[in-house]
Amino acid sequence: MGSSSSTQHHFAFQNAEKAFKAAALIQRWYRRHVARLEMRRRCTWSIFQSIEYAGQQDQVKLHDFFSYLMDHFTPSSHNERDFLNRMFIEESFSQDSEMERDSGYESIEVPDSYTGPRLSFPLLPDHATALVEAFRLKRQLHACYVLNLLYEAKKHLVQLPNINRISTCYSEEITVCGDLHGQLDDLIFIFYKNGLPSPKRPYVFNGDFVDRGKDSIEILMILFAFMLVYPKEFHLNRGNHEDHMVNLRYGFTKEVMNKYKIHGKKILRTLQDVFRWLPLATLVDEKVLILHGGVSDMTDLKLLDKLDRHKIVSTLRCKTRKDSDKQAPEPEPEPEPKQAGPTGPAEKPVPWFLPQSRSLPSSPFRLSSDRAPKASRSCSIPCSGPLDRKELSRRVRRSVDLELERCRQQAGFPATREKQEPPLAEAEAEADAEAEAEPTRGEWRQVVDILWSDPMAQDGCKANTVRGGGCYFGPDVTEQLLQKYSLQLLIRSHECKPEGYEFCHNRKVLTIFSASNYYEVGSNRGAYVKLGPALIPHIVQYQANKSTHTLTMRQRISRVEESALRALREKLFAHSSSLLSEFKKYDTNKTGSISLSDWAAAVESVLHLGLPWRMLRPQLVSSSADNTLEYRSWLEDLAEEQLSHENIQSSLLETLYRNRSNLETIFRIIDSDHSGFISLDEFRQTWKLFSSHMNIDITDDCICDLARSIDFNKDGHIDINEFLEAFRLVKQSCSEGDTSDCP
């Protein structure tokens, strides 16, 4: 009836309205949930990036240390000289003759019991395919074949120009892949999804094939094999990780020594040689330039084309000679009058790793001039503006002399008898003698720039202090370069991106990164790009891990986040003492507590990571009712998590922790025969030199005690791996399991 139907209507209307409101509420709640996940994802990404780059800065400090010792230290005894020689002499240039005489593999026998892949030369496509299949099944290639393949690879590489020119007219599309970093799964996936290389399917691999991941050597074998089989269609560019100095730190050296216990050293020596013959860039149809890092405002493709690329053994440390020694081409007229120009003939070379702003930041929107381009990166090496080169050089020399003297005395070496200007004359004479073997500073910088630079959003070109090499280049630099050489696109890699790729500079620069799940399972996708005759980039993305597909976004983010937080807590622990002092400053009433806001400020001022600490705070500090933190017990909790070796007292542990990567690198350099052992004496001397350079306050007794406690077998030698295992997180402990009495 009338009234009942209107009541029904009324109820119906009310119910509908209720449902509407309920739905709206749920949606509102859900959208907030998603937003918080997104924020967590971004913060996690920031953590990984800032820690990664802070690690690279550490590397710079280390080489800072080495380079000055190398250039200025005059050993006054035969022991000193030996010790330093172990650290510094690169076994490189004698390689060439050695390589010709005995490429090493002929004398190695492959036993009948070997079930891995067998190669014969010249390689056939089937061999290359068989390699991929064998590695997929986790077989290992015998050292004999590795060396043989490397030998053949080098023979081929030597014939290639610095800049490979390729064309799309012979094939459908060219596939360009970015960093792989030892992640074999990704390479196999790319071949699976895109097809194996062939004359119809050319590939360009844009550097950073090795380090970090666990299958770097296998990736190299596959890449070199295809390069030999399809020399016209398969191209490799050098990345900054194709460098034996970088490999010492980032895992490739370790991987090779682990997999090839007998012949590893020979393989590494050979690789050192092969890497420096890798081409520097690839040019497609004279229009698309592919190189690993980026460019600078000084990038000169003609010079790059002509220089002897094999003279640049490592981009991290390089003896160079003055530009005036060589008939260098006319330097390009500088567009920016403020820039420090290329080395003039009368000036002494200034080490590249010193901050030298090439131009002042130009954007009016910048809050402060010492902010790094990306919010998540921090700039711990002060970049206070361009200094006159002579003045800079003088200041640096003076402070280094003082420091060196202190180092020498601390390390127990006799003091120098007279004050002297650093023996540059001597260095020059030496340099002249080796003039043939060394690149000029200008040449070296050209290569460093293209292997290490990163794009930034602002115009201009400034030193890349985060990485310690190369520069940050702005859209104007890109534009300038593209116009100068009539190019239309720059493809580069070098930086991990959440989606595996990223366009910038008005889509004139494409970053392509092919190592998916780089920081952690679920952290990012990988991608490759295809270029057809129209040269329009077509991106393909992937994530080579089945398990991530079954995880929800929330779970994926949680896992990655956990990993990032673990790394961050380790970093916090490594700065416990500094944090404690900083906290105390805020605790004016000596209550033992500080506000959470002060906590955030203190942590940033100590760590300089540029992270959003207030956002991260709930994950790092359990909240209390009144928003304060008892900082001592918080630091103790951190320590408890990290301590896995009780014999080493915790303040020393903290210091060692902080410098762990650098120490490992130094050890591996000293351990020149890659035996995995260094003597107690070497350890003590190293630690002394290093700690005094880094201003670490440690008594002699402490060091001796430490050395003795690490010599677990009491045989006067320290097993490097054991020593480093002592500092692993409890959770990531070695496979033996028990970490409390270090095995």
Partner 1 sequence: MAEEKEREELAAAEFHKKIKEAFEVFDHESNNTVDVREIGTIIRSLGCCPSEGELHDLIAEVEEEEPTGYIRFEKFLPVMTQVLLERKYRPIPEDVLLRAFEVLDSAKHGFLTKEELIKYMTEEGEPFSQEEMEEMLSAAIDPESNSIHYKDYITMMAIDEN
Q: Which residues bind partner 1 (CB under 8 A)?
A: 15, 18-36, 38-39, 42-43, 46, 363, 365-367, 371-375, 457-458, 552-554, 558, 597, 600, 612-615, 618
- Shortest distance, CB of residue 311 to partner 1, whole angstroms? 37
- Shortest distance, CB of residue 541 to partner 1, whole angstroms? 16
- Shortest distance, CB of residue 268 to partner 1, whole angstroms? 40
Q: Which of residues 504 and 729 has its CB atom nearest to partner 1 in the complex?
A: 504
The CA-based diameter of the chain, rounded to the nearest angstrom, is 116
Q: Which of residues 42 and 72 has its CB atom nearest to partner 1 in the complex?
A: 42
- CB within 8 A of 687, min separation 6: which ones? 663, 698, 703, 706, 707
Count the Cβ atoms, other than its own, within 10 Å of residue 434.
11
Burial-class residue 12 by CB neighbours within 10 Å (0-12, 13-18, 19+): exposed
8 A C-beta contact, residue 291 and residue 450: yes
- Shortest distance, CB of residue 472 to partner 1, whole angstroms? 11
Q: Which of residues 448 and 456 has its CB atom nearest to partner 1 in the complex?
A: 456
- Shortest distance, CB of residue 27 to partner 1, whole angstroms? 5
- Cis amide linkage into residue 122, ω under 30° from 0: yes
8 A C-beta contact, residue 703 and residue 688: yes
Cα separation of 455 and 482, whole Å? 14
- Shortest distance, CB of residue 58 to partner 1, whole angstroms? 24
Closest CA to 426 of 93, 67, 72, 79: 72
Q: Which of residues 85 and 541 has its CB atom nearest to partner 1 in the complex?
A: 541
Q: Which of residues 366 and 484 has its CB atom nearest to partner 1 in the complex?
A: 366
Burial-class residue 61 by CB neighbours within 10 Å (0-12, 13-18, 19+): middle
Q: Which of residues 21 and 261 has its CB atom nearest to partner 1 in the complex?
A: 21
Three-state secondary-structure class, residue 395: helix
- Name the token pair of 110: 């492959």
- Shortest distance, CB of residue 715 to partner 1, whole angstroms? 51
| Phi, psi for 559 (deg, rounded to 5) | -60, -50
Q: Which of residues 22 and 730 has its CB atom nearest to partner 1 in the complex?
A: 22
Helices and strands in the chain, H and E counts:
26, 18
What does the CA dihedral 289, 290, 294, 300 come to, rounded to 10 degrees?
Answer: -50
Q: Which of residues 253 and 359 has its CB atom nearest to partner 1 in the complex?
A: 359
Three-state secondary-structure class, residue 204: strand
Alpha helices per DSSP H over 608-699: 613-620, 631-642, 650-658, 660-670, 680-693
Catalytic position from the list 241, 244, 263, 494: 241
Question: If phi over 0 gives left and psi between -120 and 50 gives alpha, with beta otherwise, what is residue 503?
Answer: beta
**241 is a catalytic site residue:** yes
Provide the CA 573 distance to its chain's centre, in angstroms.
Answer: 22
Q: Which of residues 363 and 488 has its CB atom nearest to partner 1 in the complex?
A: 363
Cα separation of 231 and 213, whole Å? 27
- Name the token pair of 38: 């997104």
8 A C-beta contact, residue 208 and residue 241: yes
- Shortest distance, CB of residue 648 to partner 1, whole angstroms? 35
Alpha helices per DSSP H over 297-372: 301-306
8 A C-beta contact, residue 222 and residue 135: yes
- Shortest distance, CB of residue 743 to partner 1, whole angstroms? 38
Q: Which of residues 202 and 475 has its CB atom nearest to partner 1 in the complex?
A: 475
Cα separation of 683 and 697, whole Å? 17
DSSP label at residue 513: B
Q: Which of residues 48 and 65 has its CB atom nearest to partner 1 in the complex?
A: 48
- Shortest distance, CB of residue 599 to partner 1, whole angstroms? 12
Q: Which of residues 41 and 660 has its CB atom nearest to partner 1 in the complex?
A: 41
Closest CA to 141 of 196, 91, 184, 177: 184
Amino acid in position 245: M
Polymer length in residues for the chain: 743
Q: What is the CA radius of gyration of the chain?
A: 28
- Shortest distance, CB of residue 613 to partner 1, whole angstroms? 7
Cα separation of 649 and 698, whole Å? 12
What does the CA dihedral 241, 244, 250, 252 come to, rounded to 10 degrees?
Answer: 100
- CB within 8 A of 418, min separation 6: which ones? none
Q: Which element (helix H / strand E) includes 629? A: strand 628-630
Q: Which of residues 168 and 465 has its CB atom nearest to partner 1 in the complex?
A: 465
Burial-class residue 11 by CB neighbours within 10 Å (0-12, 13-18, 19+): exposed
DSSP label at residue 300: -
Provide the CA 337 distance to its chain's centre, in angstroms.
Answer: 33
- Shortest distance, CB of residue 46 to partner 1, whole angstroms? 7
Cα–Cα distances (Å) from 640 to 59, 649, 676, 735, in that order, read 28, 12, 29, 21
Amino acid in position 575: H
- Shortest distance, CB of residue 573 to partner 1, whole angstroms? 23
Q: Which residues are catalytic?
A: 241
